[in-house]
Amino acid sequence: MKQILVVNLFLGPKRKLSFNKLVTRVKTLGVEVSISDHARLPDLDPSQLTSYDGIILSGTEALFTRTADRKEFENLFAFLPKIETPTLGICGGHQALAIAYGGEVAKSGHHVDGFRTVELEDKDHLLAGLPAKIRVMQSHYEVVKRLPPGFVRIARSKDTKNEAMKHEQKPLYGVQFHPERWNEENLAGKRILENFIEKIATKL
């Protein structure tokens, strides 16, 4: 059974249900899940993470354009580039990954919320088996304005230019939307998590 580490980027207990939803959904895909959080993760030696097949960075209510919030994650930003384990960032985790590798996050101008249409530009492993347009759950106030060096865009939408990204050489992916919040009418998110687990998350 594959081992997935899910990292909690939420700052307060009010969002515990959101994080638990992610953990529960990942568990339903037939993997063993361990949990850490953004404050504890940088205390580890990066080599310790090679025991996991993959890492998933959760969303967060933090706003990285807000100085106080950004400071909370300084250690995580410095630590993420040291990780060699395949990693998927979701929403705030996607933004954190972008910042850690030298990208830029900005306010979206409005709250992007609900199931929205996303256009796929590159059906690499993460988006394999999906149609050209998918419906996925959105909930964010900030976006990745500029991709970090070494990353390319693999999806976009009317609301968000950089909906998904991948590193050109490393097994690193980020999605602005919430794939864990799928429903029976909109199953693309489930397929994306399955793709990460089955095609990308592999011990190095």
- Catalytic entry in 38, 94, 140, 178: 178
Mark whether 184 is an active-site residue.
Answer: no
Mark whether 32 is an active-site residue.
Answer: no
- Catalytic entry in 94, 142, 167, 180: 180
Mark whether 167 is an active-site residue.
Answer: no
The single residue listed with the structure tokens 């060096």 is 149
- Catalytic entry in 91, 94, 140, 163: 91
Which residues are catalytically annotated? 91, 178, 180
